[in-house]
Chains A and B, each alone.
Chain A
Amino acid sequence: MTGAMLKIGVPSKGRLMEKTFDWFGARGVTMQRTGNEREYSGAVDGIEGVELVLLSAGEIPRELAAGRIHLGVTGSDLVRDKLADWPRQVAELAQLGFGHADLVIAVPACWIDVDTLDDLDAAAAAFRRAHGHRLRIATKYHRLVRDFLTENGVADYQLVDSQGATEGTVKNLTAEAIADITSSGETLRANHLKILSDGLVHQSQAVLFRSLAADWTGAEAVTLARLCDRLGLAAA
């Protein structure tokens, strides 16, 4: 039976999981965690042939690309950043309307001379001349940020990896600027950073993706059609 199951990957904890359960629940598909509180297993009611796989949101893009899950809920930012040429690997079935966050470029608020990418580029050139190395931008979204800066003709910068507490890197002298996710801008302000007026890299939200690499040759395709019908989505 498991061989013909349609596997759907859902974030394994936190608000993203709860909101995902709510979204499906409102459409008659009940998802819940099973077993004890610490066990990552789940069940789906209201539709036959669907198996719930609880995963870290950051791993869902990779699992979709590999075709190990048929559907997955994760942030649009993670899919764009982790998958090269993402439209060839996954298709968007539905934008879920929650998990909103903006990926933005931010610089110290005291940089009165920098408001746009054009300013950032000029400041980077001068910084490199004065300090002997390229202006460092801390981020964990390497592909999205690099593509954005290339597209906008910004040069003389380097990306440095920051997997957490990115807003603190400027004060700690490990970066001169940052590119990070923000929803209210509160943490940025608290760390004396401001967003560039044209520094919006990507507006992210939770999206239900379909893997293009998964096995759709058997009962999974029929299950998908039924699921889409139940969720009120155009079958993809």
Chain B
Amino acid sequence: MTTFGTTPDKAAIRAEAEALFAAFRATGAVPVEADILQPAETLLDLYGEDIRARAYVTADPLRGEMMLRPDFTVPVVQAHMAHGAEPARYCYMGEVFRKQEHAGPRASEYMQVGFELFDREAPEKADAEVFALIQQMLAPLRLRPATGDIGILMAAVRGLSTTDRRKAALLRHIWRPRRFRALLDRFSGRAPMPPARAALLDRLAADSAEALMRAAGPVIGLRSAGDIAARAASLIEDARTPPIAAPEAALLYDLLSLQAPAEAALSHLRGITPMLPAIAPAVDRFAARLQALAYRGVDITHLPFEASHGRTSLEYYDGFVFSFHAADPDLPPVAAGGRYDALTAVLGQGRSIPAVGGVIRPGLVARLKGGRG
């Protein structure tokens, strides 16, 4: 493991972790343990191949590919789905492991202390509880909070007047801003159709997909002639689909760049809701969350809000997202979390439960307390 001159020693970090863990337990959260070795397949299916660049993969002679846990969320959700009562509050403490591809100050092994809340009744109140709890615990460090809400973006995409196929493509890439932008540019007519696509459509107008395939070469591999013909048909359908109307697209571009204090952001969202009515329920939830945050003493007049916050992290947050940052921009967030309802559905095999949680890095807390941040 790489160590750095300013890093506090492990004993100090563990002591800090114990203190944070005790604070979570004091709220009535049930402590849970998780295996360090996690089945790689589950994580790969959730996060895709990118996780391989970030998690340590190892081979177990009997269980196959395993990963050193890159976070606790997945095992905690699995444990809850298997035998948890509701509502439930869990806390945990332990090392997580993240491979670093670039030399620098980012640790490859560090402690996390976390809190997860599973509650069907009042999700916005649950969001506020987790945020306010972590903010309070870290108050002496005077960190800068950042918040966002991926649920509003998703609602805006679902409300577009276009085909389900285009909406699904946009939703699938909501966590990849660059690809999302490229798709939106194309669907709204801002970017031209690639020349090869236009040529293919011309050929499909003159000939069947099957005939074109026969001319191109033998069908090899698991992706069948049927798969190829189905996508060719969807390309023809997509070419006939009119572009997303300019005013609607403009609202989505506006939403992507929305950045304002939370209360002002709410007014702005209320202002555009009549033109994008599909976001109304998500905006109502945002309003209810702000109310719940204010009730817990959070200063919502100054709380920073960015509609795109959290879009580049691991792709499971689908609602409220938050993080707390030190003054040094080179440091990773001291704490981060969010809502991940959809993840519980994926892991729950048919069942799901609204869930929100967050983690704190005691190593950074200890470092900042030591005045070395």
Interface residues, chain A, CB within 8 Å of chain B? Answer: 84-85, 88, 108-113, 115-116, 118-119, 121-123, 125-127, 130-131, 134-135, 142-143, 146-147, 149-150, 152-153, 155-159, 170-171, 173, 175-176, 192, 197
Contacts and interface: CB of A to CB of B under 8 A. Distances in A.
A85 B102 contact: yes
Given A146-B52, A155-B176, 16 more contacts: A108-B219, A111-B216, A112-B200, A113-B235, A123-B223, A123-B227, A126-B227, A127-B227, A130-B227, A135-B223, A143-B53, A146-B49, A157-B48, A171-B220, A175-B221, A192-B220
Contacts of B227: 123, 126-127, 130
B49 A157 contact: yes
A146 B103 contact: no
A176 B222 contact: yes
Contacts of B223: 108, 111, 123, 127, 135, 176
Contacts of A152: 179
Q: Which of B169, B212, B220, B230 has the most CB of A within 10 A?
A: B220
B196 A116 contact: yes
B173 interface: yes
B232 interface: yes
Contacts of B102: 84-85
B30 interface: no
A109 B213 CA distance: 8
Nearest to B232: A113
Contacts of A126: 227, 230-231
A33 to B, nearest CB: 37
A121 B179 contact: yes
Contact of A110 (B103, B172, B228, B235): B228
Contacts of B52: 142, 146, 159
A153 B197 contact: no
Interface string B224-266: 0101101110010000000000000000000000000000000
Contacts of A123: 223, 227, 231
Contacts of B197: 115-116, 119
Contact of A153 (B101, B182, B194, B216): B182
B45 A173 contact: no
A153 B228 contact: no
B296 interface: no
14 contacts: A85-B102, A108-B221, A109-B217, A110-B225, A112-B200, A112-B216, A118-B194, A143-B53, A153-B178, A153-B182, A155-B173, A155-B176, A159-B49, A173-B221
B52 to A, nearest CB: 7
Interface string B263-275: 0000000000000
A135 B221 CA distance: 11
Contacts of A142: 52
A122 B169 contact: yes
B218 A155 contact: no
B50 interface: yes
Contacts of B222: 131, 173, 176
A135 B224 CA distance: 13
Contact of B194 (A110, A115, A171, A176): A115
Contacts of B219: 108, 110
Interface in B32-53: 44-45, 48-50, 52-53
